[in-house]
Amino acid sequence: MTTSTKAPENLLKKLRSGHRYVITSHINPDGDAVGSSLGLIRILRAIGKGAVVWSRDEPPKLYRSLAGSERIHIGTEPPSGFPDSFDGVIVLECPTLDRCGLEEQLGDLPVINIDHHLGNEHYGVVNWIDTAAPSLGEMIYRLSQGLMVNLDQETATALYLTLVTDTGGFRFANSSPAAFDAASALVAEGAHPEQVAQWLYESQPESAVRLLGEMLKTLEIHDGRVATALVTQEMFESAGASSSDTEGLIDHPRSIAGVDAVALIRQVDDDQFKVSLRSRGDIDVEKLARKKGGGGHRNAAGYLAEGPIDELRQTVVAELQDTLSRSHARASQIDRQGARLNM
């Protein structure tokens, strides 16, 4: 299998030296966060370690079929025995510690930081950051190799799901050779691609489909290349939906021919909104999100912002159009330089 890097020795040593860990990830966990957490807890148990997955927010309904999802500790109240009976906290997919939403509750326990996002602040006593990784779950697979753990079917399936969700079903730009190598290896270990496909694409709750219908009513296309859509509290109520039903909504406007950048603006409080961004190719929305205090990847990022929602939408459209213009200018400059070199 082709990989970016092996799991570092200081990480392997740290995990072997402890007895019990808390595993947590970012607020509003996605498929990579959930699958990586559930895969890692099974890997730790395979080497005789105790562990608990603790998430501030409830995972999306799509991932409740994953083995162990029913035992995730949800909320801000600590799990039983915390912190005295734990040796450390493993934080997954969080460029900053506060991204997990539990920074105050974690206290003074040593933090192990594993991430593949740009801009990670290296806040752990051990930091393993690989921005080339196609998913965090692919890094957890490499970690299992370093710990010499043979994966069972449930663990392989959880890690395979992280690849499918973070690469958009192997459609996004991060669908690298490492992604396909890991997918092949995980299937060989027992992962069930057809089961994952059924969970993700053929098991949508009615509330999520109704919310999609509400969202599509707000869809706007700006100059053919930028799409925006809204999800408000009223739409959640009308659809009988919750925040966990928003998983994958942004992929629908992203699929429109000619659209290169998408923003989904979701209301999280009276005047607070989550702006999710998606793009194609070399169009970098991570830089835009980072300027706003958020982050992510080149083609998938997000940040929190304040309303009113109509003004926020206008601002986001203008910023995405500027991002597209800059990307086009850079591409034209590269083309001109290439043409001069070939003269």
Residues 7, 142: Cα–Cα separation, whole Å: 6
Q: Is residue 124 predicted with pLDDT exceeding 50?
A: yes
136: amino acid identity, one letter:
L
- The CA-atom distances, in angstroms, between 177 and each of 86, 132, 134 are 37, 11, 9
Nearest to 196 by CA among 154, 250, 256: 154
CATH number for the segment(s) 9-201: 3.90.1640.10
pLDDT in tens, 235-253: 999 999 999 899 999 999 9
Residues 276, 300: Cα–Cα separation, whole Å: 8
Token couple for 49: 């370690």
Q: Considering the chain, what percentage of its residues have pLDDT values greater than 90?
A: 88
Confidence of residue 46 (pLDDT cuts 50, 70, 90): very high
Per-residue confidence (pLDDT) for residue 332, from 0 to 100: 61
Per-residue confidence (pLDDT) for residue 334, from 0 to 100: 61
Please report, for the chain, the start and end positions of each structural domain, with discontinuous segments joined by +: 9-201, 206-331
Per-residue confidence (pLDDT) for residue 280, from 0 to 100: 92
pLDDT in tens, 7-18: 999 999 999 999
Rounded to the nearest 10 degrees, how much is the dihedral formed by the CA atoms of 114, 120, 124, 128?
40
Residues 96, 207: Cα–Cα separation, whole Å: 32
Q: Is residue 156 predicted with pLDDT exceeding 50?
A: yes
pLDDT in tens, 286-326: 999 999 999 888 999 999 999 899 999 999 999 999 999 99
Out of 3.10.310.30, 3.40.190.10, 3.30.470.10, 3.30.1360.150, the CATH code matching 206-331 is 3.10.310.30
Residues 68, 142: Cα–Cα separation, whole Å: 21
Q: Is 241 helix (H, G, I), strand (E, B) or coil?
A: coil
Within a 13 Å sphere around the CA of 223, how many CA atoms are in the beta-carbon half?
Answer: 12
Q: Is residue 87 predicted with pLDDT exceeding 70?
A: yes
288: amino acid identity, one letter:
L
| DSSP letter for each residue of 253-319 | HHTSTT--EEEEEEE-SSSEEEEEEEE-TT---HHHHHHTT-EEETTEEEEEEE--HHHHHHHHHHH
pTM of the model: 0.89
Residues 273, 307: Cα–Cα separation, whole Å: 7
Confidence of residue 5 (pLDDT cuts 50, 70, 90): confident
Per-residue confidence (pLDDT) for residue 3, from 0 to 100: 44
Q: Is 24 helix (H, G, I), strand (E, B) or coil?
A: strand
What residues form DSSP beta bridges with 111?
89
Q: Is residue 2 predicted with pLDDT exceeding 60?
A: no
Question: Which helix H or strand E contains 165, and what residues bound it?
Answer: helix 153-166
Q: Any idea what DSSP says for residue 27?
A: S
Nearest to 119 by CA among 127, 128, 131, 111: 131
CB 165 within 8 A of CB 32: yes
Q: Is residue 1 predicted with pLDDT exceeding 50?
A: no
What string of H, E and C letters represents the secondary structure of 54-112?
Answer: EECCCCCHHHCCCCCHHHCEECCCCCCCCCCCCCEEEEECCCCHHHHCCHHHHCCCCEE
Average pLDDT over residues 243-268: 95
Per-residue confidence (pLDDT) for residue 173, from 0 to 100: 86
Token couple for 10: 């200081």
Residues 324, 282: Cα–Cα separation, whole Å: 10
Q: Any idea what DSSP says for residue 246?
A: G
